[in-house]
Amino acid sequence: MNTEVIVALAVGAVIVLVAAVALRLADRVGLPSLLLYLALGVALGEGGLGVQFEDYSLTQTLGVAALVVILAEGGLTTRWGDVRRAIGPGLSLATIGVAVSVVVTAAVGVWLLGFSWGYALLLGAVISSTDAAAVFATLRRLPLPRRMAAALEAESGLNDAPVILLVAVLADSLTGGETSAWWLTGVVIVGELLGGSVIGLAIGVGGVQLLRRSALPLSGFYPLATLALCVLAFSSASLLHTSGFVAVYLCGLVLGNASLPHRAASIGFAEGMASLAQIGLFVLLGLLVSPDRLVGALGPALLIGGALLLVARPLSVLASLVWFRMPWSQQLFISWAGLRGAVPIVLATFPLTAQVPGATFIFDTVFVLVVVFTLVQGWSLPVVARRLGIATPLTPRDVVVESAPLDELDADLVQMTVPAGSRLHGVYLPELRLPEDAAVVLIVRGGRSFVPDRTTRLMRGDQALLVSARRSRAEAERRLRAVSRAGRLASWRGERGAPTEID
């Protein structure tokens, strides 16, 4: 084998291991992990170990691929119940909010920095998109109101698509391409978003039926198939000239909220792949930076970033959420929580690839802006949430249920975990009142496995295996959820265990 390939594999493995340790360090000190990944890339680049890398086209291609995986994971791990309550605010932030943010930021660039309107609009479009990786990683660690957090997640999952289309149009117009009327551009963007939505939902629904009816030879194929369906949604939508980013997010949302075989393993696999994509993307972007140029971009970046954070973002939130009943404290938090990350930096490679005049300055400015304001916003979000009085106590998770098909027996093997706070704790197995053709056959407690009997009581932290006839599995899962929420007298209390929110 080629020595260079072996060295590249070794370096890649070391980078992943170092990045994993860096993630733990970032959690301890309260810093967003992307800053450490970017720093690792800069340290490897021309300002550090001297690795020369200036392939903007390759970076753009790999960046888009990484965003596909990150958005797929975001959809897979988002609860449909939360999205249903927040789809209006989230969609408004991803469309109206983006438009307001671009225009206000561009106006600051024209009036204070002397940019042309076309150049200023391009810069505003590049930095207007909130970053899915940063939002998902940061907000899900905070005890926030679900509707507000879901609105931010929906915004970050949906706003990439219109922004990428807008950046492409503006970059083309600045390099001598044909400039369409703004109303026509708007119609095209809306059409691509709607088309991507239809394709993503269709592939998601079809994928659910496929995975439910297919007995794959290895359980490890289910996570691969789930992620492959999300990538298929992106590629299909893109080939049909619609929005692949909307398609991949919505496909992941459908798959992640369906009762699929090995669902928990599939989501865990997607989370791991998204983390790997983030590491690779941020390190690659760090390699692309020339530290000597960043000093000249510091002043404009602070000015543009300050205008974005203190003027453009609040105005965009106000214009987007005026139609919805959302408390002012939550609107203020949303204004502060418009996190930027890899997406603006990846978008900054589009003008470079299109050879827009001044594109290098845009890239350097965006890089400095993302680093500085991620540092400012990332550590302060818990403090801001407490000061605004919107931090909420964490509620116990519902019982975790995962199933796998046993085709030859026309049965399903169901695995469940009893979480802390569940009312399954202390319940005797007969009190579960499962269907006659369903039974708990094995319990793992404290690392020890045993076969239960009628005198066995479930305890928090237990992992249990249940075998059920396929026709009764849904009823058994509903009963487990009902008892987990309301205890052994769940039916008397009106709890039926409906899967309104899937963890």
d(CA 286, CA 283): 5
d(CA 157, CA 216): 30
For residues 281 and 69, is the Cβ–Cβ distance under 8 A?
no
- Which one-letter amino acid corresponds to residue 61? T
What pLDDT is stored for residue 1 in this prediction?
60
- Residue among 501, 499, 76 nearest 251 (CA): 76
Question: Both tokens of residue 84?
Answer: 């249903």
d(CA 218, CA 236): 27
For residues 191 and 133, is the Cβ–Cβ distance under 8 A?
no
d(CA 288, CA 404): 45
Question: Both tokens of residue 435?
Answer: 């269907």
Tell the residue number behind the tokens 């990944």, with chain if given: 37
- Residue among 7, 26, 8, 91 nearest 275 (CA): 26
Q: Where are the domains of the chain?
A: 3-387, 400-486
Neighbours of 249 (CB within 10 A): 33
Neighbours of 406 (CB within 10 A): 15
Q: Phi/psi at 406 (nearest 5 deg)?
A: -120, 85
What pLDDT is stored for residue 136 in this prediction?
67
Tell the residue number behind the tokens 């992941």, with chain if given: 252
Q: How would DSSP label each residue in 183-219?
A: HHHHHHHHHHHHHHHHHHHHHHHHHHHHHHH---SST
Q: Do domains 3-387 and 400-486 have the same CATH topology?
A: no
Q: Phi/psi at 400 (nearest 5 deg)?
A: -90, 120
Tell the residue number behind the tokens 């550590």, with chain if given: 379
CATH 3.30.2230.10 fits 400-486, yes or no: no
What pLDDT is stored for residue 386 in this prediction?
84
Tell the residue number behind the tokens 């390099």, with chain if given: 175
* pTM of the full structure: 0.73
Q: What is the 3-state secondary structure (H, E, C) of 398-464?
A: CCEEEEEEEHHHCEEEEEEECCCCCCCCCCEHHHHCCCCCEEEEEEEECCEEECCCCCCECCCCCEE
d(CA 230, CA 207): 9
Out of 3.10.129.10, 3.50.50.60, 1.20.1530.20, 1.10.10.10, the CATH code matching 3-387 is: 1.20.1530.20
d(CA 503, CA 497): 13
Ranges under pLDDT 50 in the chain: 394-397, 501-503
